[in-house]
Every structure is written in structure tokens, then in C-alpha cells.
Amino acid sequence: MKVIICGAGSVGMSIATYLEQGNNDIIVIDHNEDLLHSIGERHDIQTLLGHASDPNILKLAQADQTNVIIAVTPHDELNMMVCEVASALYNIPTKIARIRNQAYLHPQWKNIFSPDKLSIDVVISPEVEIAHLISRGFTVPGAFVARPLAQERLILIGTKCLPETPIVNTPISHICGIFPHLELSIAAIWRHGSLILPSTRERLLAGDDIYLLCRQRDTTEVMKAFGYYHQEKRRLLILGGGKIGCRLAEDIERHCPDTVIRIIEKDKQRCQHVSQKLKKSVVIEGDALDIDILKEADVDTIDTVIGVTDDDQVNTLGTLLAKYHEAKRGISLINSFSSLALVHSLGVDNVINPRMVTLSNILHHIRRAHVHNVFTLPDSAHEVIEVSIHENSTLSGSTIENFEVAGDLHVISVVRGEKVYFPPIDLTFERGDRVILGVANQWLQEIERLFFAKYT
């Protein structure tokens, strides 16, 4: 696959380095020579100096032979123009643009991105995606991730393994023996800054962040088994009333109307704007690191505190301070990828990295047609993917046990017609199966070869 990435910032670089592992033909365009030099020094990736909307620059990048163009410059208007030029002059099949200005995404103007208006196939909005990710998790008590899979029949849940739950120090293979009425698979474990694709012999330890897969209808019972119970009325504290904080509060008001929401925002004008936009949430003007402000927000009654300001330190310290004053659970938005493991170790229950959220969404749209879902795991070196076995695949008839590779390739579940198999060790693959995999990045090219047998 030939891919042009417009914008060599943190997101553009993350996409480029990720796709590099799949032996894709990648070129990164930016007008900042220092950013391009940084990429060229550390990676075997082509770079091109210039403005990405310039037809001559796109010609030098061989746009006429390109499958996908991804515009992630800091400017929405430039990203839109890149896609327009790429379509009009070079007919690039898939055009993806990052759009951050919420005015463009308002329902009143949403038709601007319809096929007969702008030539953009996929619009990515990090703020919206992050708010949706957090709010979906909030709808499941005890979850920090809740990602529907298999046409919403299954759900991938991220949750913390509590010391008091019966499954602590229990091999994964014994979980269904303890809870015989439940069916689930453990997809991955995040432990002390390292990701594990577990075998059935692996034990779950207190403090592990675990990613499990179960049926949507069983969500409540599964979370009870892990020590989390539904509360009729929950209390949420959001640190930061920016785009993410405001959108998150809107989502929670819509989907969890009984939730009591408090927002702490430092900027007076922003406070007024957010107050006017939200229906029931209480907005408090002040510093998230001020103990008196936290007490005004009734921090000791809070079930979940979420730090989503534009400052990693405020998100981390504010969340920890709230937890110190009896808030039960803390989630922080952290932009610095190198800080993720450290923030976890300090006691923040979950960390969300905007680059990983954006990367997951972009990957979902540039994989083949038979890849239905992609979820990037915390180390960004592994992912959960949902893929169908193509009718021409040579994988049909082979056993799952022979297919798996310890530590790198793990079959989580197989959906066949109306049946779901957890975990499907004794199964053989059939054409049309929907397979949910935990996989290390270096195996992605092999996965495509096995599942598709030819390009589709």
C-alpha cells in the first residue's frame, strides 16, 4: 500500500512509524525541515519538503500511484484542501482529514462532508473520538474502555483487576470454572508498563489493566464478577472544560442522564460558554490543583475524576489529588507517550493517549475491507483487530492451536453465524468466520496474507 502523510507532527509521525512496520510505501510531506529531518534520522521513511496542498509537491510524491492520503497538519483548512487537490488531480481512492474545529462538525453544518460537497472520505476529530471513548467506558461501571465489536454483539472492555475479586492469582483457564454461567476471553493484560497477550496459563494479578471480550448482553454480570456493580446515580468530576471536557459532559448527559457532573475550568469565558452549552452539569471556575476548589466540587463523593485539560501535569496531579481526597477512580489524558507507564505507576487508574486514539481510528479506515475493527493497545505495538476470513483464504480448515504464536498472535474469539466461541482453542477456521485477534504489529502483513490470500 502506498500512503502519503501530510503533516510531520506527533500524530503524523505515529502513523508513519506504525505503517512502516507493515512494509508499506510511505512518504511524509511537511514544510518544516526540522521535523522531516527528525523522521529521516530515526526511520527508513521517505520525506518531502513543501506544502502538502501544492499539486507539484503531490506529483513529486507520486500521488497518481497512491492508495491513501492522510492529512494531519495543524490546520483544518489545509487538511481539507489537501483532500480536494488529491481527489481533483490524482483521484486518490481514500482521503482522510483530521478536523479539530468543532464548528465544522456541528450537526447544522455536517452536510459539508457529504460525498457531493467535499472530497473527504473519512473525517477524524480527536476531541470527539476521545470524548466518545471515555463516555462509552463510563456507561459500563468499572470500565475505562468499552468498544463494541462484531456488529455490537460483543464488547471489548478495559478494566482494572481489583485485589478483592475472586479471579486474582487465578489462571485464565480457571475463570470460567469459577463463573460457569459466564463466557469471556482475556484479550490482553497491561502490567507494569508492559503488554501481554496471555496464554490460558497466565494468572491475573491485582492492579493489572485487563482487556476482556464478552457478549454485550452479559456486560453487567461480567463486571460484577470482576467486582464492579451498577450504581443508579454516579458522580463525575471533569478537570478541564475545553473541547474534550465539554463534549464528554454532553455525551454523559445524553447517555447517562442520572449522572451528577461537575466541571472545573480555569478560564472565566470558557466557563460561561460551557455553562450555556450544557443542560445539567455544574461548572466551577477555578484551578483543578486548588484543594478548596476540589472541595467545592464535593470531591470526596466523586466516583470518577477525569483530567482532560491541555496540560499533562495538571491532568496527572489533579487526578491524583482528587483521589487523595477520596475520589474513587482517576483517568488522565496524557499527550506524552513516554510518560504513560510513569503516570500509571503513580496511581492513576487509566491513561488515555490522544495519538493512540487517533491512530486506532485511522487504521480502521485504511485496513482492507474485511477488517471491521481496529483497537490499538496501550503500548501501540499490539492491537485487537476484527477480521473476516475471505472466501479465497487458505486459512480455512486450519486449526487455531496451530495458528497462534505465543506472545505475538492470540485468537480471542470466533463468531460464526449466530454462534460465538470463547476462547476457541479447539476450533478450525471456516470461510466467513469473524475472528477477533490480539496481534503484535510485525505480524500484520502475515495476517493479511493468511486471511485474504490475495488483495481484495
Determine the pLDDT at residue 435: 92
348: phi then psi, degrees, rounded to nearest 5: -70, 130
> Distance between CA 377 and CA 189 in Å, rounded?
10
Does the model's pTM come out above 0.85? no
Give SS3 for 101: coil
Residue 230 lies in a domain: no
220/239 same-domain check: no
Q: Write the CATH number for 47.
A: 3.40.50.720
pLDDT for 78 equals: 95
Q: So what's the pLDDT on residue 309?
A: 96
Specify the pLDDT at position 353: 86
Those residues of the chain that have pLDDT short of 70 are 22-23, 231-232, 367-369, 406, 424-425, 452-456
Residue 185, all three cell numbers: 476471553
Q: Are residues 116 and 25 in the same domain?
A: yes
For residue 447, the domain's CATH number is 3.30.70.1450
- Among the three residues 165, 200, 225, which one is the final residue of a domain in this structure? 225
Q: Are residues 268 and 379 in the same domain?
A: no
Query: Does one domain contain both 259 and 160?
Result: no
- Do 102 and 148 share a domain, yes or no? no
Of 209, 226, 228, 216, residue with least CA distance to 155: 216
**What's residue 350's pLDDT?**
82
Same domain, 201 and 160: yes
**Sign of the dihedral through C-alpha 352, 341, 305, 197:** positive
Quote the crossing angle between the two packed helices 10-20 and 33-42, to the nearest 10°.
Answer: 30
